[in-house]
Structure 1
Amino acid sequence: MKRAEEILAALKNGEEKAFKTFFSEYHDVLVLYATNILKDVDAAEDVVQDCFMNVWENSLYDNLSNGLDKYMFHLVKNAALNELRGSKRREARHEKMMAEMPVVEMMKEDEQTEIDILYTTINQLPPERRRIFMMVCAEGKKYQEVADQLQISINTVRTQLMRSLKFLREKLKEQMFSILLFCWKKVKIRF
């Protein structure tokens, strides 16, 4: 009996240790596989982790008779391709919006006031939320980097970032919120 089949049988028996074994044995090779598609290790890590979580939380292994390893490679491939398509769509939307925006030559005095308002609003965020927001948006760190540095889960990073963006959208005029998003264009903010 192959190793993947042994792990699948143990998973079906409800052995949590089997999932940990499966994760440790296949994680690195799946990240390498996803990195080959995405050309970004951090994005590949996120995709693979999401796939493992999906398999575990939804007990997707229950319907398999064999080929757990093949199933995971197929799942990671599809998730990586979806991530790639999604990032290309986000870039295309951003480029279209940038082309439609008027060119700004010099910052005027009243524009300086808008930037002050922007930073004042950002400073109204709760300290931890503001810290996560600045690490992702201003410093350009990946979600996983922030999670590791702050010793929190990646889902907490996502949740806090989404709450920050919701707060800023509500507090700022629509135009100023758009300016905020364009200021940090190179950062992948996942909606």
Structure 2
Amino acid sequence: MEVTELLKNIQKHDSQPDFRSLYDMYYDRFFRIAFYYLQRDEWAQEVTLDVFTGIWNNRKHLSIPDDFNKYSYTLVRNAALNYLEKEQRREASPLASVPDPPSSTSSPEERMIDEELFSIYEKSLNDLPERCREIFIKVREEKQSYTSVAEELNISPKTVDAQLQKASARLKEKINNYFRGKQ
């Protein structure tokens, strides 16, 4: 199926199978673009998932471009550069950023999907080995730097990175399985 047709189905019919097809078609490309700018697997994975989440959340207002490859390159590049800027600011500042409150304008269906995904995320997080989960929470949720986590746990920054990659891969797999089950 052509990408324009997928995007139209996603937009008009909230088609999760078509979104999954788009995800499968473009995940590797988005990841490579993000990695080119960020040079870290876990950051590139996060940006890639953020871009797909943005496409899904904004599907009703999505203007379908003539050249999706060009559009998506710009979308991922900008997201990666914004992420890099935020990471550099965060590492320079000792204060953790406060998360934005959830949007109250989402539909009941969107809230249900968000709740399901969050439930899967929580369960998957709890299924991780204890040290892996601890590192993931400290870096991703508490926004601690690799260096501070490594010092606190008396491990190397490379171990922090490896554990984050392991956690991210397992969480991604669980979320992918969720979308496969929705088809």
**TM-score (norm: length of structure 2):** 0.52
Deviations 1:162-183 (A, max 9, x none): xxxxxxxxxxxxxxxxxxxxxx
* Alignment check: 8 A CA contact 1:44 1:80 kept: yes
In structure 2, C-alpha distance between the alignment counterparts of 1:149 and 1:7, rounded to whole Å? 27
Q: Which residue of 2 aligns with 1:12?
A: 11
In structure 2, C-alpha distance between the alignment counterparts of 1:152 and 1:19, rounded to whole Å? 17
Does residue 146 in structure 1 map to residue 167 in structure 2? yes
Closer, same or farther: CA 6–152 of 1 in aligned 2, 3 Å: closer
Deviations 1:35-65 (A, max 9, x none): 1111112211110111101111221663335
Cα RMSD (Å)? 3.3
Question: How far has the Cα of 1:148 moved from its partner?
Answer: 3.8
Secondary structure at the counterpart of residue 134 of structure 2: helix
- Further displaced range: 26-35 or 72-81: 72-81
Deviations 1:113-165 (A, max 9, x none): xxxxxxxxxxxxx9x89642246533514645224457766xxxxxxxxxxxx
Does residue 81 in structure 1 map to residue 81 in structure 2? yes
Secondary structure at the counterpart of residue 47 of structure 1: helix
Closer, same or farther: CA 60–49 of 1 in aligned 2, 3 Å: farther
Closer, same or farther: CA 62–88 of 1 in aligned 2, 3 Å: closer
Letter paired with 1:12: Q
Does residue 23 in structure 1 map to residue 23 in structure 2? yes
User: Which residues of structure 1 form unaligned runs of 5+?
Assistant: 95-125, 154-191
Which residues of 2 match residues 1-191 of structure 1 at below 5 A?
Answer: 3-14=2-13, 15-59=15-59, 62-64=62-64, 66-93=66-93, 131=131, 132-134=133-135, 137=149, 138=153, 139-141=159-161, 143=164, 145-149=166-170
Closer, same or farther: CA 7–70 of 1 in aligned 2, 3 Å: farther
In structure 2, C-alpha distance between the alignment counterparts of 1:36 and 1:147, rounded to whole Å? 19
In structure 1, C-alpha distance between the alignment counterparts of 2:170 and 2:10, rounded to whole Å? 32
**Aligned residue pair count:** 121
- Structure with larger Rg: 1
In structure 2, C-alpha distance between the alignment counterparts of 1:34 and 1:84, rounded to whole Å? 10
